[in-house]
A and B are shown apart, each in its own frame.
Chain A
Amino acid sequence: MALLKNNAVIDDPFADATGRETIPASGPVLVDLDQWQSHREQLLQRTEPVGVKLRSDQPPESIAEDLHSIALIALEFPVFRDGRAYSYARLLRGQYGYSGEIRAVGDVLLEQLHFMERTGFDAFELESDDPLGDMQVASADFGVWYQPAADGRLSAVQLRHRAG
């Protein structure tokens, strides 16, 4: 499993505490929603970054009030066909104005990377022999887009009617 961010494979700075009984006392840590809700006060006190992982049946509404204190939101794809997290990412980037890391985890595959990136994901946990190569393949597919999304790319409509 490789973690891809900004076109580089990086070491995950977050310790994965999801599903564990105890949360490490220090260091960047990733917790699940149950842990966040039951240890919210302590987690908000931490000086080091905290991430929250949401299952595909946990809309980001549940953490909306705390987003400014959350450095990473990991959205899970239990199976690549479950597309709920695309909407969660859009909501986070759009309506909630979230600017931290949104990481795709779970069943993350080459053929879905481009849609993930368009909807606002900026980090990807990818099971692949060549994660960077996969990302390059996925990014090279399209040079024109029909609709605005969370990636700031101009849509065909916008390009057609650009001033000047």
Chain B
Amino acid sequence: MYRYDEFDHKLVAERARQFRRQVKRRLSGELTEDQFKPLRLMNGLYMQLHAYMLRVNVPYGSLSSRQLRKFAHIARTYDRDFGHFTTRQNIQYNWIKLEDVPDILEELAEVEVTAIQSSGNCVRNITSDHYAGRARDELADPRVYAELLRQYTILNPEFSYLPRKFKIALTGSPRDRAAVALHDIGLRMHRNEAGETGFEVLVGGGQGRTPFIAHTIREWLAPEHLLSYVESILRVYNMYGRRDNMHKARIKIIVNQMGLDRYRELVEADWEQIRDSVLKVPQAEVDRINAYFEPPEYECLADIPDELNDVRARIPEFDQWMSANVAEHRVPGYSIVNISLKAPGLPPGDMTADTMDAVADLADRYSLDEIRVNHRQNLSFVDVRQLDLFTLWKKLKLLDLATPNIQTVSDIICCPGLDYCNLANSRSIPIAQDLSRHFVDVDHLALVGDFTINISGCMNACGHHHVGNIGILGVNKRGKEYFQLTLGGSSDENASLGDRLGRALPQDEVPAAVETIVDTYLAIRLDGERFLDTYRRAGIAPFREAVYNPVQARAVA
């Protein structure tokens, strides 16, 4: 993992001290709320329905056990004993007092964690593949570039008052686990014709009320030019992004209004001027950072499929967990273990302080002290010896963290919704809870297979409903909560936006409708098809019929 040096420590400490002054100036009335608002947002502090929410960054999803214990401590000391992992490798605390925040930021700084730019109209937390450095299909480790971007964007004097928020994500694998096409800038590592590794640069993706899949602005960019190219994209956005309407202020709108070609022309013209400036990334800095991401000293082990198969044959529950939650590691004898924060009936992504401590202990013992946070609101241990899998499973099970449902119907992304958020117009968490209680039969989950359900409590789409295989969007009709379903969304390397299924449904009809969609898929899928494949082949009609005209649909079948 990256560790702060003297420069990082100093900057973060200075930032915490600065915010202490800003809070003091706010409390004394020297700053108006209007003047204070962007300052607190840039320090992660957001005003929700009932209290301040503090959003803390886990840069590119990489977390040490020591940092997770600090998260537990913050939850216990300053909040109500729990935190909530979001879709952007952040943790949120929902019940924070303004006057405590300077102390919290100082405590976080002790373990090299910040809330800097986790909110506000600036560049947000840099996110990446949670399997980075461990995935078997990885071409190059994106973390060094994520860290370079983290530093470059933190307190960037030119880009701290952008038209709107700005999100950057990277992947070093052809299999996109970081949803890069749904970001303001997405960076995909790949090889050019000469065989050199660089970035495909995507721009203008995003969700919200006007969703867009990002466009490729540059097919291949040499890594040494990453910062200058990002600077040019940001500069053009800062100058030309719309400031007259906050709902039209994201980069996706201006890229689509002026056209990708024109946007590219402006970026390339600016970039020509700065590509060989001091922004060029020195190899010495790449090497310095990369040293922190050297692979740990793995034991010399072999894969043990036979031993594991013996246990799996004896214990079906372990077998189900192995199938759903455990992924391949690039080093023989090791595995990646996904920890589900989606036990039936629990709010997705929530974790109590005690559970955080327990997971930190398990990470020390079974995963070389490291935990990863992913955009589907789950955690991963990325360095587990296969010899330890069975023991780890038993311990996770005791903590209710071994639900075998990763990437299945009950692995639901969900925003905080009207339980916390002042933007929401519906309660999204109860829908997620209903669905997770509805789909508890793990054999059935396995039968249905690869699936995503994403729920947002309003059209701002924090729950990524546009890119769920089933998306569920809360809408308000004449003061009552209804839910609009979309089908066919995906955030992977073949990203797509979902299509509207039909009229919105009242809350109590949602689980049955989802079940009908799942059953329809099971009835018409061909061998080996995931839901998404079936949907892309068969279209929306059979699903629409089944949900809205059940009698006729049955008669035809």
Given contacts A87-B239, A155-B278, contact A144 B157 (CB under 8 A): no
A164 to chain B, nearest CB (A): 13
Contact A83 B162 (CB under 8 A): yes
> Which one, A116, A118, A159, contacts B7 given CB within 8 A?
A159
B528 on the A face (CB < 8 A): no
- A 59-84 binary contact with B (CB < 8 Å = 1; else 0): 10000000000000000000011111
**Residue among B15, B157, B282 making CB contact with A161, cutoff 8 Å:** B282
Task: Say whether B270 contacts A88, CB under 8 Å.
Answer: no
A158: chain B residues within 8 A (beta carbon): 278
Q: Does B39 contact A (CB under 8 A)?
A: yes
Docked Cα-Cα span, A137 to B155, in Å, equals 17
Which residue from chain A places its CB closest to the CB of B288 in the assembled complex?
A160
| Interchain CB contact under 8 A, A80 and B10 | no
Most buried by A among B161, B162, B235: B161
Nearest B-chain residue to A137, judged by Cβ:
B21
A81 adjacent to B39 (CB under 8 Å): no
Contacts of B278 in A (CB 8 A): 148, 155, 158
Q: Answer whether residue B284 sits at the interface, using C-beta atoms and an 8 A cutoff.
A: yes
Q: Which residues of B contact A91 (CB under 8 A)?
A: 235
Interface membership of B110, Cβ < 8 A: no
CB-defined contacts of A87 to chain B, threshold 8 Å = 158, 235, 238-239
Query: Known contacts A83-B161, A90-B158, A148-B279: does B238 contact A111 (CB below 8 Å)?
Result: no
Most buried by B among A86, A88, A158: A86
Other-chain residue from A81, A94, A111, A116 in contact with B22 (beta carbon distance below 8 A): A111
Q: Which A residues are CB-close (under 8 A) to B137?
A: none
> Is B11 an interface residue, CB under 8 A from the partner?
yes
Taking CB atoms, residues of chain B closer than 8 Å to A109 are 35
Q: Is A10 an interface residue (CB 8 A)?
A: no
Does residue A5 face the partner (Cβ distance < 8 Å to B)? no
Knowing A111-B22, A142-B14 are in contact, say whether A90-B235 is a contact too (CB < 8 A): yes
Q: Could you name 11 residue pairs across A and B whose Cβ atoms are closer than 8 Å? A: A81-B121, A86-B159, A90-B235, A114-B157, A115-B161, A119-B158, A137-B21, A142-B155, A147-B156, A148-B279, A161-B288
Q: Apart from A84-B238, A161-B288, what are 19 other A-B pairs with CB-CB below 8 Å?
A: A80-B35, A83-B121, A83-B158, A83-B161, A86-B238, A87-B238, A88-B239, A95-B273, A115-B161, A119-B158, A141-B14, A142-B11, A144-B14, A146-B156, A147-B227, A148-B277, A157-B281, A161-B282, A161-B285
The residues of A with any CB-CB pair to B shorter than 8 Å are 56, 59, 80-84, 86-88, 90-91, 94-95, 109, 111-112, 114-116, 118-119, 137, 141-149, 155-161
| The 9 nearest A-B residue pairs measured at CB | A83-B161, A118-B157, A115-B157, A156-B7, A146-B151, A161-B284, A86-B158, A144-B11, A148-B278
